[in-house]
Amino acid sequence: MSYFQVGWSPIMTNESQILALKYRPQIFEDLIGQEEIAQAISNSIKLNRISNAYLFTGIRGVGKTTFARIVAKALNCENKQNNLCKDNFCSNCESIINSNHIDVLEIDGASHTSVDNIRELLEFSRYPPTIANFKVYIIDEVHMLSKQAFNALLKTLEEPPLYLKFIFATTELKKIPITIISRCQRYDLTRIKSEQLFNYIKIVAGKEKIKVEDNAIKLIVKISEGSVRDALSLLDRAIISNENNLLTFENVQKIFGYTDKSSYINLLEHVFKGDEFSIIKHYRDIYNAGVDPNNFLNEFLEILYYIKNIKHIKIEGKSFSLNDSDYKNIISLSKNLTSKDILLFWEFTLKTIKEINMVNNPNLLIEMFLVQLIYLINKKEKDTKSKDSILLNLEGIENRNLQSSDLVSQIKNIKQIDEKTENKDVEKLNSLTDLIQICKDKKELNLKYELENNVNLVSFSKYRIEISFNEKLDKNFVKKLSEKLFEWTNRRWIITFSKEKGAMSAKERKKSLLDDDIKNFKKTKEYSDLLELVPDVELIDIKKK
């Protein structure tokens, strides 16, 4: 068979059958992208050096369960190991293909997680195979088994009867105990390379007599992320959704809501021109095409990566992430941006990704994000060396002309502003304790309560506060605090939420100090004397004179 030949069983040719099942490989030679592993297992079976248990791991759709079934057929083929079925399948191979072989049991680990399921399986394994050479147990998604179930397998895995073989498949290797892994012959299945998957899908399309543009296949391959099953399922969906005789790149884009790199490149060009109207219109066109805001930001990050590293990237036809036109446009864009500019964009995009779930309408956040990019660009004026900066907070955007040589720090730190115009209250705000005291002085008791009881400080610097919080925090806390800080200091403050735990709240810290005082006092002679007088005394507070 040729390198990319597509194999399928004669009994699986139902025209209504989905492509992922119809073209499921049935022999080692049909597997693509895993040729070395297939050759190694095939050789071990021919040499009768068969493992007690096999473990196949990898992402979805790269052939784990398919490998398991082919190994089961190879172990039990009536034509013996040196002459395995390839075209006309024997009765054993045919039964395994149809999942009705009496000696080959395939179970789903997610549905048989308990130790009782495994004990029942092991009890049944005491009996030798009825018609086959080996009794084979295939457990898919084996990582779903319970700890007790894994423990029940240990002894049998290490010293099984000669006629018993286990084959495991998993997408999450880390969840399997090392004691199980060490008893298996492990094979890591990799993602299928883009070029291999492209040729495979092209052959399947030919078998199905479907006319598909090469660029459309390339897009399907890119979206599938190296998964054969995903690629076939995407092709299936595209065929069903397309009413025309030819499946074009534009059809596939529309069906899967995918926007190519050129749209993001054009968007960046509008950003460089400072054309706010065109930026919003262009983004809305991308969104209306079906692109999710989260996916938009991740694709945007990918473009920034290419701009930063375009000098080290070569277009060799083996990766479908960039076409020739995109490659040239990105080279042109890279000439307008320094490394600091790109890193600034990168940091700002990551920051927006973290905040996207904090708003009810992510599209508004994306639009504001794109507008803000205009002010983050390093604009070199002819007569001055000033650089535009942006002051960001949860309520809006305020532009400041700042003297700074480090653009990246614009995201991480808000620059110092002329101290002559600062309100005197700014000098008092150097810590959370200072902020609590000012709230007390200004009679803002609700804010003081929230800061003391429901806020955990992560960091506090001039014009920026980073916090974590508990579920009791008032939903309007950030808005109220931002308004008051602006009122007291005449400056905008950034208040951000962090996933870090943060320091103890003022209330927690006060309780911790009290607990320490009580603990230390209980070690004193005074407390011992007190217990003699009042044995059931309960110490709840300590007042220091």
Q: Which candidate, 359, 366, 378, 379, places its Cα nearest to that of 298? A: 366
Distance CA 158, CA 150 (A): 12
Q: Which of 66-75, 265-274, 329-338, 356-365 has the highest mean pLDDT?
A: 66-75
Residue 312: predicted pLDDT? 72
Residue 200: predicted pLDDT? 93
Least confident of 25-29, 82-86, 248-252, 391-395: 391-395
Cβ proximity of 293 and 363 under 8 Å:
yes
Distance CA 216, CA 201 (A): 11
Residue 183: predicted pLDDT? 92
Based on the number of CB atoms within 10 Å of its own CB, is 153 exposed (0-12), middle (13-18) or buried (19 or more)? buried
Q: Domain coordinates of the chain in residue numbers?
A: 31-188, 261-412, 420-497, 512-545
**What is the Cα Rg of the chain in Å?**
33
pLDDT above 90 as % of the chain: 17
Q: Which residue has the higher pLDDT, 244 or 437?
A: 437
Question: Residue 74's pLDDT band (boundaries 50, 70, 90)?
Answer: very high
User: Could you confirm whether domain 31-188 is CATH 3.30.479.30?
Assistant: no
Phi, psi dihedrals of residue 252, rounded to the nearest 5°:
-65, -40
Question: Residue 189's pLDDT band (boundaries 50, 70, 90)?
Answer: very high
On the question of pLDDT at 533 being above 70, the answer is yes
Q: How many CA atoms lie within 13 A of 360 on its CB side?
A: 0
Least confident of 87-101, 343-357, 413-427, 443-457: 413-427
On the question of pLDDT at 119 being above 70, the answer is yes
Q: Which fold has domain 261-412?
A: Zinc Finger, Delta Prime; domain 3 (1.20.272)
Question: Residue 504's pLDDT band (boundaries 50, 70, 90)?
Answer: confident
Average pLDDT over residues 207-221: 87
Q: Which residue has the higher pLDDT, 491 or 13?
A: 491
Based on the number of CB atoms within 10 Å of its own CB, is 487 exposed (0-12), middle (13-18) or buried (19 or more)? exposed
Distance CA 540, CA 22 (A): 73
Amino acid symbol at 466: E
Residue 424: predicted pLDDT? 52
Distance CA 19, CA 205 (A): 10
Q: Which of 66-80, 290-304, 329-343, 403-417 has the highest mean pLDDT?
A: 66-80
On the question of pLDDT at 166 being above 90, the answer is yes
Residue 405: predicted pLDDT? 40
Cβ proximity of 13 and 208 under 8 Å:
no
Residue 125: predicted pLDDT? 87
Distance CA 215, CA 317 (A): 12
- In which residue are the tokens 């945007």 written? 300
Mean predicted lDDT score pLDDT of the chain: 79
On the question of pLDDT at 369 being above 80, the answer is yes
The 3-state secondary structure of 25-76 reads CCCHHHCCCCHHHHHHHHHHHHCCCCCCEEEEECCCCCCHHHHHHHHHHHHH
Q: Which candidate, 164, 182, 113, 120, places its Cα nearest to that of 143? A: 113
Average pLDDT over residues 190-200: 89
Residue 86: predicted pLDDT? 83
Average pLDDT over residues 172-197: 91
Cβ proximity of 189 and 58 under 8 Å:
yes
For 129-161, what is each residue's pLDDT tens digit? 999 899 999 999 999 999 999 999 998 898 888
Average pLDDT over residues 517-529: 77
Least confident of 97-111, 197-211, 259-273, 315-329: 315-329
Residue 427: predicted pLDDT? 66
Phi, psi dihedrals of residue 473, rounded to the nearest 5°:
-65, 135
Least confident of 27-31, 44-48, 129-133, 409-413: 409-413
Q: Which of 117-126, 471-480, 507-516 has the highest mean pLDDT?
A: 117-126
On the question of pLDDT at 319 being above 60, the answer is no
Phi, psi dihedrals of residue 487, rounded to the nearest 5°:
-65, -40
Q: Which of 8-17, 338-347, 492-501, 524-533 has the highest mean pLDDT?
A: 338-347
On the question of pLDDT at 413 being above 60, the answer is no
Distance CA 431, CA 38 (A): 63
Q: Is 335 left (phi over 0), alpha (psi -120 to 50) or beta?
A: alpha
Residue 168: predicted pLDDT? 95
